[in-house]
Amino acid sequence: MVVKPNLQELIIKAKQADQKAFRVLLNYFWEDVYRFQLKRTNDAYEAEEITVQTFARAFDKIETYEETFKFKTWLITISKNIHIDQTRKQKLKTSEIDTRKVSQIADIEPTVEDKIIKEQNLSNLLSQIKELQPHYREVIELRFFKEMSYKEIAVRTEQPITNVKVRLLRAKKLLAEIINQKHN
């Protein structure tokens, strides 16, 4: 049974640029947004890309969220609009997201996922990283093995820095799940 977090409290903290609140909101609503996009696109990769962009935009614009709407509905609306924009523009490679606020979701302190990942020996870790989808594997390798900054990764992958940050948060969560499955 999944315990529902206190969403109002998390949103207030996220509006104050609390990184942990961002992470909890991302993890809690990821599947809802992803499933919504998967139904729209019928393409797992495209659904993930739009979901990453959805959270990047939502975190950037969190101060505009009004509590009169459900947070999930607000996220789905953002996601739907991104998909519509992409459909209109077809091969949109970058988004025009203001990165001032989103830069605050960078991992300043080690997360639970970071601790789990660090406990693995290198050969086990490398084999577990290979289980990730290529776009997640790439950001993990660039960040942790090549020690690239978010900006360098954004340039290398031709993605907005906000997308890189969200993708890295998601990649670390998935990698930690793989590690935990191997130990159970």
Q: 110 and 174 in one domain?
A: yes
Q: 128 and 83 in one domain?
A: no
Using one digit for the tens of pLDDT, what is the confidence trace for 45-73? Answer: 889 989 999 999 999 889 888 888 899 99
Residue-number span of the structural domain to which 118 is assigned:
106-183
Q: 176 and 143 in one domain?
A: yes
Using one digit for the tens of pLDDT, what is the confidence trace for 116-151? Answer: 666 666 667 778 888 888 888 899 888 888 888 888
Domains contained in the chain, number: 2
- Scanning 61-149, the segments in alpha helix (DSSP H) are 71-89, 99-102, 112-118, 122-129, 134-140
Nearest to 75 by CA among 131, 2, 10, 120: 10
Q: 59 and 18 in one domain?
A: yes
Q: How far is CA 137 from CA 5, 75, 84, 133, 170, in A?
A: 29, 26, 28, 6, 11
Is the pTM here over 0.75, yes or no? no
Q: 121 and 83 in one domain?
A: no
Q: 127 and 81 in one domain?
A: no
